Amino acid sequence: MPHITSQNEYQKLGKPDFCYFCGKPLSKGQPLNSDHCPPVKIFHTSDRINYPIKIQVHEKCNHSWHLNDDKLSIFFDVLHGGIKATKAEHYNKLTFTDIKTKQGLYQGITDFPIEPLAYRIMRCVHSLLYGKFLEKNTAHHIHYPWPKVNPQTGEPHHHELQTYSFANQLCIAQKTKMNK
């Protein structure tokens, strides 16, 4: 199996001749642009050296991700100690709900596109490694490392223990940064 860890290694592989979003050929009749796989904004700037990989896609398909990419960049900026979420033009792109648990009241982000992002990355990587389009209805399962709740009832979904462990580590990291 090919191994891709950098843009240089990607350049040595054959490029897909289709858009990994829709599976249609990258014909000369449709405008194209490059998509970062995974999206560049999920990485801290110090982790962006020769990464992520850029892949040609239809401009229209890529643009359909614009709002979701904005939401993800705000969230990951906060995780990396950034201040995007403190600015109204960014903060207002996210929606929140209060979640009451036995431990207290928490604020959760709603309409957050982490599941579509994970599947998007999986489809992109599949196209790079195997040179084939991964159909949208392909069965898959990805473990998402943070808790989910029903926004109407506030009741948590069943989660594995590692979900709560990861969420606790995120909280500890944020508290540590605030106390410095």
Residue spans per domain, the chain = 7-94+112-141
User: Could you report the per-residue pLDDT of 47-87, keeping only the tens digit for each?
Assistant: 777 666 888 999 999 999 888 888 888 888 877 777 887 88
Is pTM beyond 0.95? Reply is no
> pLDDT value at position 58?
95
Does pLDDT of 135 surpass 80?
yes
158-179: buried (b, 16+ CB within 10 Å) or exposed (e) per residue? ebeeebeebeeeeeeeeeeeee
Query: Cα–Cα distance between 106 and 68 in angstroms, integer?
Result: 23
> pLDDT value at position 179?
47
DSSP the chain: -----SHHHHHHSPPPSB-TTT--B--TTS-EEEEEES-GGGS-GGG-TT-SEEEEEEHHHHHTTHHHHHHHHHHHHHHTT--GGGSHHHHTTSEEEEEEETTEEEEEEES--HHHHHHHHHHHHHHHHHSS---TT-------SS--B-TTT-PBPP--HHHHHHHHHHHHHHHHHHH-
- Can you read off the two tokens belonging to residue 123? 């489809």
> Mean of the per-residue pLDDT values for the chain?
79
Q: Answer yes or no: are the C-beta atoms of 72 and 39 closer than 8 Å.
A: yes
Tokens 């605030």, residue located:
178
